Amino acid sequence: MDMDIKKLILVVLSLALVFSLAESFDYHESDLSSEESLWDLYERRRSQYTISRDLEEKQKRFNVFKENLKHIHKVNQMDKPFKLKLNKFADMTNHEFMSTRSSKVSHYRMFHGPRRLTDFRHEKTNNLPPSIDWRKKGAVTGVKDQGKCGSCWAFSTVVAVEGINQIKTGELVTLSEQELVDCDNQGCDGGLMEQAFEFIKKSNGLTTENNYPYRAKNELCDTSKLNGPVVIIDGYEMVPEKDENALMKAVANQPVSIALDAGGKDFQFYSEGVFPGDCGTELNHGVAVVGYGATSDGTK
């Protein structure tokens, strides 16, 4: 059954941060004491992620792993409000991480070129709640993995549509990123959330993940899968640029698609805490803001 959404989807092209916690692998300071203990840690980590490599490639990856571990340990010794951990990206250089996880083609047009101007219905909204977490309200599905495909734009879009659908209907439906990858002509080489919202609007909705599963690669649009259940939207709005108060107003009403700079090792190994925003401004990754609030020490 179609679920008709009578509220516009919001797209944000301004810098804000929200992170999904990647599966991590703990280490102890004693693991850094010698080359042997480092190699043992590397092998345990490789076993956890069932990674098989030949000896030459293992040595190359071990060297990358060592440097990443040193960075993680150094940052965690500093007085920073966030922590890093080893995760499945621990033997990848930051360049490799970025080249396989972020959008690779449309950056300039997306974040530096002309942006569509729209109304912003929450402009005069006041009396915002001091905090909100749409995950706790049941409007956010579990963390998804885009794999080695620059389809972050599709995942960012889908979070917002899933969220507003749950808010309006009370039902959390997991939607299909693969339909966007295949049928919106943006694919794994990067794309625009704005165009994805426009596609959903004009194509009379987005089907479910179960009906059109994610495959992390470009494929031909399977039109036979587009006759199943869909979520429909009427349109979308752009949150005013460089206005965190406007972003807060938007997020108070629903999960919001945003873009951010995902470069740097700190982002690659982020685990927990408040990232202070000193990450850069070369926006290259689409994610979603699913809430806001303050920590126990009052940090916004």
Q: Which residues are catalytic?
A: 146, 152, 285
d(CA 219, CA 225): 13
* Residue 87: exposure state from Cβ atoms within 10 A (0-12, 13-18, ≥19): buried
| DSSP assignment letter at 226 | G
- C-beta of residue 246 within 8 angstroms of C-beta of residue 287: no
The encoded tokens of residue 177 equal 């990123």
Q: Please, where are the H alpha helices in 13-54?
A: 35-48
Closest CA to 46 of 54, 28, 102, 30: 54
- C-beta of residue 11 within 8 angstroms of C-beta of residue 163: no
d(CA 201, CA 181): 16
Amino acid of residue 45: R
